[in-house]
Structure 1
Amino acid sequence: MPQPGPPGRNDDPDVKSPRTYRRSYALTLLCAGMLMVILDGTIVTVALPAIGDDLGFSSADLAWVMNIYMIAFGGLLLLAGRLGDIFGRKRMFLAGIAVFTAASLLCGVAASPEMLLVARFVQGAGGAKASAVSLGMIVTLYPEPAEQGKAIGAFSFIGAAGASLGLVLGGVLTEAASWHWIFLVNLPIGAVTLLLATRVLAADTPTGPRGKADVVGAALVTAGLMLLVYAVVKAESYGWGAAKTWALVAGAFALLAGFAVRQARAATPLLPLRTFRSRKVTGANLIQILTIAAMFGFQVLVVLYMQHVLGYGSAKSGWAMLPTAAAIGAVSLGVSARLIARFGPRNVLVAGLLALTAGMLYLVRVPVDGSYAVDLLPVFVLLGGGGLVLPALATLAMSDARPEDAGVVSGLFNTTQQIGAALGVALLNTLATSRTDDLLADGKPPATALTEGYQLAFTAGTLLLATATVLTLVLLRPTRPNPHPAPEPLVHT
């Protein structure tokens, strides 16, 4: 008979140890914090018309309710990730949740466009603090590849499906109560998350370099990203070939170039340039920018199509997106980790991108008198491929991260998500609006002009996804083993 183990040891593999339970609770809290942050990236989408009417936003400025959140989020993620490495990731996560929750209250009581935009910027800053360190904390909690794959799958599900759920929740809250509640709903969630996180999340030892964080670098990258998105948004009124547009673009790239120079010379860089020596890290983040740009732009524009062309209300357009969240959840939580373990993250990524590309391509033909069952539902199901894409990208991006750089690599991964989202919304919305305005000037009926504008944007989204697929095949190709390995060194005795 087998002898019992020492006191406190559990030899039954079917019984979870206290450490396993603690890790599960920690993962749940990290996912809850991420869900709250991700929801606020999309929950305002279906509420934008109500916000604009109530606060008096112009149609051109209304997009900044989303853009300023994503730019603050994306621009500060690198700084937050490095601060987490220096001062502790738990401390950074708690600070982020606290700032985000307080800013949500300010958003909910905003009485003017200026107040809402300032509060949204602060909210994005808080979201950056919480999100930048989350993935690094999960990798630390689950170092074993099999368990890590499942944990990343759950975290990626929150990121992908949470964006779709935000559309549903935003529509329901806006119609049932008012747009103010899409922000006020964060208060109880944030308070509970903050209270439990202080008890459940283990204190971590800082692993990053000692010294001051690169605040100058953070200012350069944030200003560069904001100016770049502003240039894309203003291209609608200035024109793509206008000198003003290209002056803004040149200024944005000058700031981003200054950031790169700063990182090469700083004693404690915000983003060490050695990070990009990894083909997996560089490729995964570049592919993510293209993918998120297409998918986030799609989410905004397909809601506008349903409301402005098909006549859906806020709640109905939100519920219409539910199959996407369900499909992503079924894939990312059900099979993504097993597929990645069996076939490798690159192959799973390619399969997911092909599904997304097929769905976006199908949407290019969307008609004026579209049917939900025929023209939209197949697209929403195919977009479940996002449940394969994000876990595979996260696995690839974090696979080469050093322990001392886990926070900044996690921050970089989240940064490219926000860059892609901000640029995708700005670019695709600008293309759609410009095309619609041209057709209206030519005398086309409003519904036809709107539909053809959305078709052009969906075509651009298809090209972005196709490019991401090609880059996956080229940049992330497997490394071939050396056919002529060096001989074993002689051992002298």
Structure 2
Amino acid sequence: ARTRAIAMWTAVGTAGGATGGLVGGLLTDYLSWRWVFLINVPVGLVVGFVAVRWLRAERRAGGRQRLDLPGAVLVTAGVGLLAFGIGETERHGWTALFPLVAGVVLMALFVVVESRTAQPLVRLGLFRLRSVAVGNLATLVGTMAGFALWYFLSLYMQNVLHYSAVRTGLSFLPHTAGIIIGSRLAPALMARMDARLLAGAGGLLAAAGFAWQSVVLDADGTFLGSILGPGATMALGFGLLMTPLVQASTAGVPSSEAGAVAGVVNTSRVIGGAIGLTLLGTAAARSGADLVGGYSTAFVVAAAITTAGTALVAFLPRAGK
């Protein structure tokens, strides 16, 4: 049941992202790019209202929990400074070390605060489990390149192929289908094989898609020749990767803390994506005005990063079939 829930979470999240891309394209083309941000106000209010009602019910059942505000501020500022420092390295060289060092210091303070507070955001003792420690590291590294699929392909389609925002959003529908198909196939495949093996296969498939994408990018490219094949390969690979990776990352965790660990894995995924996108953007910027060359470089680096993250899967403990 948990495996199916993880697969559904991945599929629904991907479908939401694809819908957002398409709606964003419609808003940009027919209203203004500002509506991409404004639309989040009513959506956020509705989601917030529903969440507050649900969280109130949970609080009555599980007791009142105090927000670890110092921990939340430290980890947010720390990750933000790390991403900012990486992004500024290309333009400012060694002076970018200051935000990087500050980010490391804040993350160290976060660990200290979490080790001493009664109700931490993350119970650090969980990381003594090899599944949690290695799983989060593999998730962080393996998904550092995940956002590149959407970001750099979107730039390529609009800046090089001159697609409209709507056409770009529509062009991502096969990629979305790839992730959903991979996520739906994963539970059935995990019933027949080790989750680590499936995660490794998915990660390598995604890395192959990144490498393929770096080769076929062209100033005169087409959707069929330069986008569909490698993009669908990357998407299918990530769909096959995430469900078994989350499953293996929670192996050996008490059921009472499985939700917390899954939340940590999701946080690692988001942090990895943010830092990875900054890193890949810096790599792409080295090509200057050569947009295609810069995007190709980003996909080469993405392939290497995804391969490295996939290699970490081998160090996960064996999860139950």
Where does residue 150 of structure 1 map in the other structure? 4
Give the distance between the partners of 1:348 and 1:151, measured in 2 at CA: 17
Normalised to the residue count of structure 1, the TM-score between the two structures is 0.59
1:464 matched to 2:300? The reply is no
Where does residue 244 of structure 2 map in the other structure? 392
Give the distance between the partners of 1:410 and 1:420, measured in 2 at CA: 15
Give the distance between the partners of 2:47 and 2:113, measured in 1 at CA: 40
Deviations 1:34-88 (A, max 9, x none): xxxxxxxxxxxxxxxxxxxxxxxxxxxxxxxxxxxxxxxxxxxxxxxxxxxxxxx
Where does residue 224 of structure 1 map in the other structure? 78
TM-fit CA distance, 1:359: 0.4
Where does residue 306 of structure 1 map in the other structure? 157
| Equivalent residue for 2:201, pick from 340, 346, 351 | 351
Which letter does structure 2 place at the counterpart of 1:191?
V
**How many pairs align?**
316
Give the distance between the partners of 1:247 and 1:319, measured in 2 at CA: 41
TM-fit CA distance, 1:202: 6.2
TM-fit CA distance, 1:267: 3.3
Which letter does structure 1 place at the counterpart of 2:306?
L
TM-fit CA distance, 1:272: 1.7
Instruction: Identify if the C-alpha distance between structure 1 residues 464 and 317 changes in structure 2 by more than 3 Å, giving closer, same or farther.
Output: same
Give the distance between the partners of 1:238 and 1:420, measured in 2 at CA: 23
* Contact map agreement 1:220 1:258 (CA 8 A) in 2: yes
Where does residue 78 of structure 1 map in the other structure? none
Could you say what the CA RMSD is over the residues aligned between the two structures, in angstroms? 2.7
Match runs of 1:13-412 below 5 Å: 147-186=1-40, 187=42, 191=46, 194=49, 198=53, 203=58, 207=62, 212-239=66-93, 242=94, 244-333=95-184, 335-365=185-215, 366-382=217-233, 383-412=235-264
TM-fit CA distance, 1:207: 4.9
Give the distance between the partners of 2:297 and 2:179, measured in 1 at CA: 26
**1:400 aligns to what SS in structure 2?**
coil
Percent same amino acid among aligned pairs? 32
* Contact map agreement 1:285 1:413 (CA 8 A) in 2: yes
TM-fit CA distance, 1:247: 2.2
Unaligned runs of 5+ in 1: 1-146, 438-445, 480-493
Give the distance between the partners of 1:390 and 1:193, measured in 2 at CA: 27
* Contact map agreement 2:131 2:317 (CA 8 A) in 1: no
Give the distance between the partners of 1:468 and 1:310, measured in 2 at CA: 31
Give the distance between the partners of 1:395 and 1:256, measured in 2 at CA: 27
Unaligned runs of 5+ in 2: none
Instruction: Identify if the C-alpha distance between structure 1 residues 148 and 247 changes in structure 2 by more than 3 Å, giving closer, same or farther.
Output: same
* Contact map agreement 2:202 2:237 (CA 8 A) in 1: yes
**Where is the helix percentage greater, Structure 1 or Structure 2?**
2
TM-fit CA distance, 1:189: 8.3
TM-fit CA distance, 1:296: 0.3
TM-fit CA distance, 1:403: 4.4
* Contact map agreement 2:248 2:316 (CA 8 A) in 1: no
* Contact map agreement 1:298 1:461 (CA 8 A) in 2: no
TM-fit CA distance, 1:370: 1.7
TM-fit CA distance, 1:367: 2.2
**1:436 aligns to what SS in structure 2?**
coil
Give the distance between the partners of 1:250 and 1:165, measured in 2 at CA: 38
* Contact map agreement 2:59 2:65 (CA 8 A) in 1: no
Which letter does structure 2 place at the counterpart of 1:281?
V
TM-fit CA distance, 1:157: 0.9
1:418 matched to 2:259? The reply is no
Where does residue 455 of structure 1 map in the other structure? 296
Deviations 1:278-312 (A, max 9, x none): 21122221111122210102311111111111111
Instruction: Identify if the C-alpha distance between structure 1 residues 413 and 207 changes in structure 2 by more than 3 Å, giving closer, same or farther.
Output: farther
Which letter does structure 2 place at the counterpart of 1:215?
L
Which letter does structure 1 place at the counterpart of 2:29?
E
